[in-house]
């Protein structure tokens, strides 16, 4: 009877593309262990729901353990699922391990959808890993607190994958991929979590991230049909318009899409007791010169690494802190007071700018271009240089990096050449990915503020002087000659990648930041800068 109720609710939700109906009451805490969970009715209901999913999906059979059987222990994992406002909306076991999309792929999809003017929707596959078939013979013990009174010594023989099994992610992805391909979808040639369906003149795009699925298209009928089709095959939670995904807050409007992590920013400020700190206008001072500081006082390594991890997750929508966070992350092995002070300044900067985010305009032209820059011998310990790159789709930033180079460079030309090679590699990946969206590009502009680095790639006469450069970087020259990219000089003032290579003064920092991200206050877009560069820039 419970299954019939769920099916009727699911069908009703699919027809209206509304939210799936869950229990009206949820627990606000996460249990310490199974005995703690069993003391609360809401968590007991959540565990019952999981076991009902097992039965519905025919995950296992209760059998006598065969000779020499070594059953795998089972363990409850409890996690609260929160909404955009931070309220608990569901008590569930979190799922782990599965093929996932790169964050760049998510941002590309958001930009593409905004430019085409269609709204992205979101659905959640309930108990996703229970849908994957396994070939091996696996036995597990009965779940704690739910042992059979009649057969307490029996074990479960698995028919399908279970959370925590190494086979689980592969099995779930294989099942979903097979279903989508049989339904007429085409898998992305580069991104294997991207699936596209063309029907007539309409297109449907599906992006998978573990058990979360983002989808949207040019036809409302096609989108609705896909939702119904998925709900018939799997047990789904239709979550409506995409608003909160992987901690990213997403606001889709007529003028474009705004992506930010304001809630997460406030949460980590509170977590590390920085909520009342004095705000700073930049994430790092130009006078900051971090080194090993072996004579400095050691600080709590666990806390330092926790702060780094929290900030690295925030860089998904905050390119303005990318360089500062990556620089501090180099000292996680033996953090000192000076390193912690530099890290605290980043938090103080976040206190000053909590609501910055990325803007994807509906008026974007979807042209592709990249910027690369480098800081020669910037590391005070090993004198290695830092590469900074960023890639834009139309007027929107979708990919960026700040990374220390692998070897010491002998000249500024070499470090700029190496940085440009890294940018070229990312542009080629994006070009291949965007071809699945039906976008085709000729020579992709790669803007560099070093004429000597451009000459190394263009002028065969200079090749004899660059034999010491690792051969893997010379593919930049090859792709220039093939016509895949076009190396263009840009004056340093217009070099957008400069923000990823070194600390900048306030004026330069805010100018470049304004070309990457925007701020939204009270729902009104503020400080949006759209810039274009000609080949003569």
Quote the percentage of the chain above a pLDDT of 90.
47
Q: How much is the average pLDDT of 322-331?
A: 94
Q: Is 276 exposed, middle or buried (0-12, 13-18, 19+ CB in 10 A)?
A: exposed
Binned at pLDDT 50, 70 and 90, residue 139 comes out as: confident
pLDDT of res. 497: 95
pLDDT of res. 410: 79
Is 131's pLDDT higher than 60? no
pLDDT of res. 9: 33
Q: How much is the average pLDDT of 128-154?
A: 69
Q: How much is the average pLDDT of 305-320?
A: 93
Q: How much is the average pLDDT of 132-160?
A: 72
Nearest to 374 by CA among 362, 363, 357, 389: 389
> Can you state the angle between helices 412-435 and 103-116, rounded to 10 degrees?
60
> What gap in Å lies between CA 524 and CA 285, rounded to an integer?
30
Q: How much is the average pLDDT of 285-310?
A: 92
pLDDT of res. 406: 83
pLDDT of res. 534: 34
How many Cβ atoms are within 10 Å of 247's Cβ, its own excluded?
14
Summarised one tens digit per residue, pLDDT across range 2-11 is 333 333 333 3
- Mean pLDDT rounded to a whole number for the chain: 80
How many Cβ atoms are within 10 Å of 459's Cβ, its own excluded?
11
Nearest to 57 by CA among 163, 187, 150: 163
pLDDT of res. 375: 92
> What gap in Å lies between CA 167 and CA 163, rounded to an integer?
9
Tokens for 266, please give them: 């406030």
pLDDT of res. 528: 38
How many Cβ atoms are within 10 Å of 59's Cβ, its own excluded?
22
pLDDT of res. 39: 78
> What gap in Å lies between CA 276 and CA 147, rounded to an integer?
50
> Can you state the angle between helices 412-435 and 451-458, rounded to 10 degrees?
70
> What gap in Å lies between CA 146 and CA 60, rounded to an integer?
14
pLDDT of res. 19: 33
> What gap in Å lies between CA 215 and CA 227, rounded to an integer?
9
> What gap in Å lies between CA 94 and CA 91, rounded to an integer?
9
Tokens for 285, please give them: 């001072």
- The answer to whether the CB of 188 falls within 8 A of the CB of 105 is no
> What gap in Å lies between CA 176 and CA 383, rounded to an integer?
48
485-489/444-448 β-pairing? parallel
Q: How much is the average pLDDT of 143-160?
A: 77
pLDDT: which is higher, 389 or 13 = 389
Most distant CA pair in the chain, distance:
84
pLDDT of res. 86: 64
- The answer to whether the CB of 224 falls within 8 A of the CB of 17 is yes
Give the full edge-to-edge strand order of the sheet including 202-209. 186-187, 194-199, 202-209, 212-217, 121-125, 236-241
284 φ, ψ to 5°?
A: -155, 135
Q: Which of 37-46, 70-79, 472-481 has the lowest mean pLDDT?
A: 70-79
Chain-centre distance for alpha carbon 109: 12
Q: pTM, whole model, 2 decimals? A: 0.74
pLDDT of res. 99: 45
Give the full edge-to-edge strand order of the sheet including 155-158. 60-63, 155-158, 139-140
pLDDT of res. 18: 35
> What gap in Å lies between CA 299 and CA 272, rounded to an integer?
14
> What gap in Å lies between CA 395 and CA 190, rounded to an integer?
24
- Tell me which DSSP letter residue 532 carries: -
- The answer to whether the CB of 211 falls within 8 A of the CB of 239 is no
Give the full edge-to-edge strand order of the sheet including 396-404. 396-404, 386-393, 368-375, 444-448, 485-489
Quote the percentage of the chain above a pLDDT of 70.
77
Tokens for 11, please give them: 């069908």
- The answer to whether the CB of 385 falls within 8 A of the CB of 375 is yes
Q: How much is the average pLDDT of 327-352?
A: 95
40-49, 75-84, 497-506 — most confident range: 497-506
Summarised one tens digit per residue, pLDDT across range 358-367 is 999 998 789 9
pLDDT: which is higher, 65 or 328 = 328
Q: Which of 163-177, 321-335, 374-388, 414-428 has the lowest mean pLDDT?
A: 163-177
> What gap in Å lies between CA 23 and CA 16, rounded to an integer?
19
pLDDT of res. 530: 34
Binned at pLDDT 50, 70 and 90, residue 119 comes out as: very high
Q: Is 48 left (phi over 0), alpha (psi -120 to 50) or beta?
A: alpha
pLDDT of res. 96: 43
15-24, 74-83, 221-230, 235-244 — most confident range: 221-230
139-140/155-158 β-pairing? antiparallel
The count of C-alpha atoms lying within 13 angstroms of the C-alpha of 60, restricted to the half-sphere facing its C-beta, is 24
Q: How much is the average pLDDT of 232-249?
A: 85
Is 195's pLDDT higher than 50? yes
Summarised one tens digit per residue, pLDDT across range 487-504 is 999 999 999 999 999 999
Q: How much is the average pLDDT of 497-518?
A: 88
pLDDT of res. 79: 72
* Residue carrying structure tokens 């609705």: 224
Domains delineated in the chain: 2-246 (no CATH), 262-352 (no CATH), 364-502 (3.30.420.10)
pLDDT: which is higher, 519 or 144 = 144
- The answer to whether the CB of 391 falls within 8 A of the CB of 421 is no
pLDDT of res. 352: 94
* Residue carrying structure tokens 């309930």: 126
Where does 41-193 show beta strands of DSSP type E? 60-63, 79-82, 88-92, 121-125, 139-140, 155-158, 186-187
Binned at pLDDT 50, 70 and 90, residue 38 comes out as: confident
């Amino acid at each position: 009877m419970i299954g019939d109720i769920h099916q009727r609710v699911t069908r009703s939700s699919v027809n209206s593309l509304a939210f799936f109906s869950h229990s009206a009451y949820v627990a606000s805490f996460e249990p310490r262990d199974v005995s703690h969970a069993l003391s609360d009715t809401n968590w007991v209901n959540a565990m019952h729901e999981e076991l009902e999913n097992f039965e519905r999906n025919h995950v296992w059979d209760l059998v006598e353990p065969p000779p020499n059987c070594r059953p795998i222990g089972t363990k409850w994992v409890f996690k609260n699922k929160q909404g955009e406002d931070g309220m608990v909306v569901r008590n569930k076991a979190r799922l782990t391990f599965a093929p996932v999309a790169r964050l760049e792929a998510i941002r590309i999809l958001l930009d593409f959808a905004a430019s085409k003017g269609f709204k992205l929707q979101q659905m959640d596959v309930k108990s996703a890993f229970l849908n994957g078939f396994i070939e091996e013979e696996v036995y597990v013990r009965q779940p704690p607190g739910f042992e059979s009174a009649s057969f307490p010594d029996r074990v479960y023989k698995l028919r399908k994958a279970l959370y925590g099994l190494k086979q689980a992610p592969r099995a779930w992805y294989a099942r979903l991929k097979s279903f989508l391909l049989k339904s007429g979808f085409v898998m992305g040639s580069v991104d294997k979590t991207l699936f596209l369906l063309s029907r007539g003149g309409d297109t449907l795009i599906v992006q998978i991230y573990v058990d979360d699925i983002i989808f949207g298209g040019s036809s409302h009928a096609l989108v609705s049909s896909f939702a119904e089709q998925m709900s018939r095959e799997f047990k789904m939670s239709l979550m409506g318009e995409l608003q909160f995904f992987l901690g990213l807050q997403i606001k889709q409007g007529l003028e474009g899409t705004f992506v930010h992590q304001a809630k997460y920013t406030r949460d980590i400020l509170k977590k590390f007791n920085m909520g009342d700190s004095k705000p700073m206008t930049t994430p790092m001072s130009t006078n900051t010169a971090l080194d090993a500081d072996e004579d400095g006082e050691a600080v709590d390594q666990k806390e330092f690494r926790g702060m780094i991890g929290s900030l690295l997750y925030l860089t998904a929508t905050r390119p303005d802190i990318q360089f500062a966070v990556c620089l501090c992350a180099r000292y996680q092995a033996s953090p000192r007071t000076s390193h912690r002070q530099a890290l605290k300044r980043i938090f103080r900067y976040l206190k000053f700018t909590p609501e910055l985010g990325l803007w994807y305009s509906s008026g974007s032209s979807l042209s592709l271009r990249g910027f690369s820059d480098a800081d020669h011998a910037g590391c005070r310990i090993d004198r290695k240089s830092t590469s900074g790159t960023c890639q834009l789709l139309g007027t929107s930033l979708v990919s960026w990096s700040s990374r220390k180079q692998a070897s010491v460079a002998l000249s500024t030309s070499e470090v700029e050449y190496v940085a440009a090679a890294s940018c070229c590699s990312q542009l080629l990946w994006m070009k291949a990915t965007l071809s699945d969206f039906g976008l085709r590009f000729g020579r992709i502009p790669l803007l560099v503020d070093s004429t000597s680095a451009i000459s190394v790639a263009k002028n065969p006469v200079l090749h004899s002087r660059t034999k010491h450069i690792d051969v893997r970087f010379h593919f930049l020259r090859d792709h220039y000659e093939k016509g895949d990219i076009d190396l263009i000089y840009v004056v340093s003032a217009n070099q957008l990648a400069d923000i990823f290579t070194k600390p900048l003064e306030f004026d330069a920092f805010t100018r470049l930041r304004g070309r990457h991200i925007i701020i939204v206050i009270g729902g009104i877009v503020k400080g949006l800068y759209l810039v274009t560069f000609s080949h003569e820039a």
